[in-house]
Structure 1
């Protein structure tokens, strides 16, 4: 990949997800459940999904130590993602133990204290950000966990000030890590996390936020999600996508009417990585349409934006039909579209 080409740069964490293996028993006493280790994390999922869709993408991530690090790297490589953004790190890889509800929704237990993902420096970021970055996506745990979140915020502010690329933010809140005793071990309190996110959102051109995020960020916002989507757009983003599980997707743009799109109906295996795949589908569509600046996004008419969003929703739906964050390829998307 040429560093001067229009590149999606995805910045964030790498997480190994331990997913329950429903096909295996838990031993005679029921105390030995089986788990399957799968590559995960918001940034990795977005980058892999975009790579499988054929988008030029570089993953900016600190690759920690441990026996599963090689699997993370190989997973990214197989998706066609540029590996030049991976920074070798001495700290351990993050681990999430995942439980699944009856509706396929995930519940997480995290083992992330002192992990590689939270240790970004300004120098590391400057060294791995491609000159051709057209969209910079940040979000999830690394974007609001110190000390690295400060370096990420400074990079976002620099890119936004330059006007050379779209900035995308996804809060992707994990309540256990954003507050409470576990969050405290990472240097997170709810007040600090909200303040860190406000700093990022103030520079964002694109925001993807879920109703689940809002339940933690602004519980009162759930009373009227339509009004909330419009209000978030009025804060400064050129495009806000508000997801609500299988309910209609809300699309808000400043000075325009709110739009709703019904997501495709599929048989859900689980919803792990669905939001990340939606974001990747959006970015791939924007890159293909040549929409890589705020001005271009603001000028994009609804009749050109909606097919991009519909494709993104289909990417997310296809991901839901598979166990874990396993997004479709470009060919699989085309087949499903037909």
Structure 2
């Protein structure tokens, strides 16, 4: 499989809490953003990948570009804007990371397609989600792109990666997610996000409801409790992989990259082939996702592993 996966969304600077030599609390800047993390992890796994986003021309933007290029991610889909970079400060005092974003007038939330822009034929899959779908005007633009591509010649992958603290118009956001969930080929969501999106609905019932739409693959992650994946014919649960935990920043994005990478390498990431995904194919995709996520958790920040780090789970 040689098609290109295009991650669509945000690129920003995460500030991760660290302790100084003197014991004081400080923050270390790390390139991040869910879509950025997915793209960079895919690139490190050797999968042809690009990032569709807006990036500032400031020095943080230069760091973001350098991180993509170092990981083998194409940057020719990026817009460079004379606007500031979004800064996201991370708290690791709870089970799930909590973020405070400083993004007024920021570049990444200002992305808009250029008039007449079309995606090249080499793009065979789009991945969307996270805060890129929350803030305007980029949120509406990315949603419109995914909706326009759904049901066509490209796979549409969705991970809502919900940040409730950023949602200002909950009714509008829920309606946007409902439209995307109805047309996405791949839906990946955490149990935490599912509780916010569909309170009281079991994972099995949620998956069943999404199969009433276009979905061919649904995956629900549960952190240390493992992951479950569904196709229209199979249900497979996989345990988490024990690791020496540093933090969980970027773990879900790394899982998403591993899942997409295995599907891509196996030739299953097409609208014709994904609905025929076998049970073993699903199991292998979940396994690689778990491996990539566990290795990320053993590092500080969203620092995904390279293909050479995977050991027996190496892509074939």
TM-score, L = length of structure 1 = 0.87
Which residue is equivalent to 1:109?
100
| Structure 1 position 25, deviation (Å) | 4.1
| Structure 1 position 248, deviation (Å) | 2.4
Which residue is equivalent to 2:92?
100
| Structure 1 position 226, deviation (Å) | 3.2
Contact 2:130 2:162 in 1 (8 A): yes
**What pairs with 1:296-315 in structure 2 (closer than 5 Å)?**
296-315=273-292
Which residue is equivalent to 1:174?
163
Which residue is equivalent to 2:225?
247
Name structure 1 gaps, 5 residues minimum: 28-32, 180-188
Which residue is equivalent to 2:130?
140
Which residue is equivalent to 1:19?
16
Name structure 2 gaps, 5 residues minimum: none
**What pairs with 1:1-338 in structure 2 (closer than 5 Å)?**
5-25=2-22, 27=24, 33-101=25-93, 103=95, 105-123=96-114, 126=117, 129-161=119-151, 163-179=152-168, 189-221=169-201, 224-254=202-232, 256-334=233-311
SS in 2 for 1:123: coil
| Structure 1 position 130, deviation (Å) | 3.4
Contact 2:113 2:141 in 1 (8 A): yes
Question: How many positions carry a matched residue from both structures?
Answer: 315
- Structure 2 CA distance for aligned equivalents of residues 125 and 246 of structure 1: 45
Consecutive aligned runs of 4 or more in structure 1 exceeding 6 Å deviation: none
SS in 1 for 2:268: coil
Contact 1:7 1:130 in 2 (8 A): no
| Structure 1 position 124, deviation (Å) | 6.6
Q: In the superposition, relative to structure 1, how do residues 202 and 102 fare at CA in structure 2: closer, same or farther (>3 Å)? A: closer
RMSD: 2.1
SS in 1 for 2:121: coil
| Structure 1 position 66, deviation (Å) | 2.7
Contact 2:236 2:282 in 1 (8 A): no
| Structure 1 position 151, deviation (Å) | 2.0
| Structure 1 position 336, deviation (Å) | 6.4
Contact 1:226 1:250 in 2 (8 A): no
SS in 1 for 2:196: helix
Contact 1:250 1:258 in 2 (8 A): yes
- Structure 2 CA distance for aligned equivalents of residues 212 and 124 of structure 1: 38
| Structure 1 position 204, deviation (Å) | 0.3
Which residue is equivalent to 1:186?
none
- Structure 1 CA distance for aligned equivalents of residues 68 and 115 of structure 2: 20
- Structure 2 CA distance for aligned equivalents of residues 119 and 125 of structure 1: 18
